[in-house]
Amino acid sequence: MASQSLLLGALGRTRCASTESLDFQTRLGRPPVGDPGGPAPGVLVLTRAADREVDELSLRLAVRGVPMLRLDSDRSAGLELTWDVLDGVVETPDVRFAPRTVWLRHFSGASVPSHGVNGVDDYVREQWVAWSRMVLAGARSVVVNGAANLSVTDRVAQLAAARQVGLGVPATVVTSRPGSAADRIPGHGDLVVKSLGDPFVEPVPGCLRTVFPRRLSRAELSAVRAVEPAPVMVQEFVPSSRRLRMYAVGGELIGFELGARPDAPRGSAEQGSAEQGSAEQGSVTPVPVPDELRAQLGLLAARWGMDVAAFDLLDTAAGPVFLQVTAACQWLRVERAAGVCMVTEAVAGLLEKNFHSG
């Protein structure tokens, strides 16, 4: 076994749950809608405390007169909650809520606070995860990314689907012995090692650490003799003129070019996922989405049932190269670096539309 994982040994970014909620409606109240004596209609979001996108959406929806109930997995242990299965009403100590749209984002069993009792912790986490999936499956309202959440699209399946719609993809090997990958991927260029599943670990509940990809020369990777504790994805490094982030929101696409800092370490998130590559790498510029690429990504978003998603691609001389799509995506860092709020407004508009049609 490897003494140190190639990915876990690298520095990552850690986000921990705040002790104080930053959610606007949680702190200041929800806009009054519906029958004062009945359950409040609104948007139910299942996520975690560090979800800054939902913090922002809470304010935007309040301005639009749309109530939102947010339940964070890392604040869930011991939460007083009742779900009436027949009428779909969710009740907490401060509100009776009738969801008109439901959105499962970052609600995770690993983030549920630990009580330090063997067996009980796993039971509590499994029950909260089971409940979140039941609410999603039994929703009487619009479910954001419903198909994407209920039938998770894995990374290898994503690459196959991208090829089917005409997009380029990197040569890829999945292995627990990354040192052997150099002989299996054609060419002489560098290779990129990525996590096979979600690029996060949570050794302490409430503190989420991002696992960044690593770019290595073939000689460096071939020198790695150890077996990884879990399979990883190894891809060819694809030279490109620019990195592209395309957000799909309600059937529309919003494009950005992500620039790299001149002093950025070699390979740092250069060919990472939608969550790993960040605006902190350098400049961000809104860009139009070419018609052919718009059609290709639209087909993929529709196939996967993704109402809100982030696509990461590389722009190369041979055309766009698909890297990955992520449903529970982030966009605030990208927007703020570009000085725009197009994605936030589009997502808020989608939720408002679902609220009125639910």
Prediction pTM value: 0.91
Among residues 310, 300, 313, the alpha carbon closest in space to that of 257 is found at: 313
Distance CA 356, CA 11 (A): 44
Please state, rounded to an integer, the average pLDDT across all residues of the chain.
Answer: 88
Q: Is residue 136 part of a domain?
A: yes
- The answer to whether residue 212 sits within a structural domain is no
In a domain, 90, yes or no: yes
* pLDDT value at residue 265: 45
Residue 274 clears pLDDT 80, i.e. is over it: no
Domain that holds residue 98: 15-146
| Predicted local confidence at residue 96, as pLDDT | 95
Asked whether residue 89 is assigned to any structural domain, the reply reads yes
Q: Tell me what pLDDT residue 141 has.
A: 80
Residue 314 has what pLDDT?
A: 97
Token output for 328? 């529970």
Most confident of 127-131, 195-199, 293-297: 293-297
**Residue 177: what pLDDT?**
95
- Which pLDDT score, from 0 to 100, does residue 262 have? 43
Q: Is residue 261 scored above 60 in pLDDT?
A: no
pLDDT band at residue 268 under the 50/70/90 scheme: very low
Q: State the CB neighbour count (10 A cutoff) for residue 110.
A: 16
> Can you tell me which residue has the tokens 């992500």?
258
Q: Considering the domain boundaries, does residue 170 fall inside one?
A: no
Domain CATH code at residue 50: 3.40.50
Taking the C-alpha atoms of residue 61 and residue 72, their distance in angstroms, rounded to an integer, is 18
Buried b (16+ CB within 10 A) or exposed e, 207-224: ebbbbbbbbbbbeebbeb
Running DSSP on this structure, what letter comes out for residue 168?
B
The pLDDT tens digits of the residues spanning 146-172 come to 877 555 568 999 999 999 999 999 999
Q: Report percent pLDDT > 90 for the chain.
A: 65
Q: Which residue has the higher pLDDT, 172 or 203?
A: 172
In a domain? residue 277? no
pLDDT of amino acid 118: 67
Residue 36 domain-assigned (yes or no): yes
Lowest mean pLDDT among 15-19, 154-158, 348-352: 15-19
Closest CA to 99 of 65, 141, 134: 141
Q: pLDDT tens for residues 100-149?
A: 999 999 998 888 887 766 677 888 889 999 999 899 887 778 999 987 75
Cα separation, 102 vs 211, whole angstroms: 28
Closest alpha carbon to 272 in 262, 281, 283:
281
Give the pLDDT confidence score for residue 207 in this predicted structure.
84
Report how many domains make up the chain.
Answer: 1
Query: Does some domain include residue 268?
Result: no
Q: Round to whole Å and give the CA distance between 160 and 156.
A: 6
